[in-house]
Amino acid sequence: MDPKHLHEQLQRLQREVDSLAVDDANRAKLHALIDDIDRELGSGAQFVLEDTSLQDRVDEMMSHFEAEHPTTAGILKDIMVKLASIGV
């Protein structure tokens, strides 16, 4: 699993969230989730995700957005798969 690719997905999600027509509460939840994942990943090649709730939060947000915002849900699903591949 390449952490650079996951960082790229997070940046793509950030751009997508910024363009969504959603309420401020949901936008804030997505931004907080992105920030938490990014913080856990760090910037080095070696990283360990310790927050076991991250995948649950990604799954919850993916379920929430899949009907009205399929692109956002797709990005979230890709991130969730990558998190699972590194043991989260």
pLDDT for 45: 42
| Single-letter code of the amino acid located at 16 | E
What single-letter DSSP state applies at residue 87? T
pLDDT at 44: 44
Contacts for 59-66: CB closer than 8 Å, 24+ residues apart: 61/29, 61/30, 61/33, 64/26
Q: Give the pLDDT score at 68.
A: 83
Q: Show pLDDT as tens, one digit a residue, over the chain (88 residues).
A: 566 777 788 888 888 888 888 888 888 888 888 888 887 776 444 444 555 577 788 888 888 888 888 888 888 888 888 777 766 5
pLDDT of residue 7: 79
Residue 41's pLDDT is what?
A: 72
pLDDT of residue 52: 56
Number of CB atoms found within 10 A of residue 37's CB: 24
| Structure-token pair, residue 2 | 């390449």
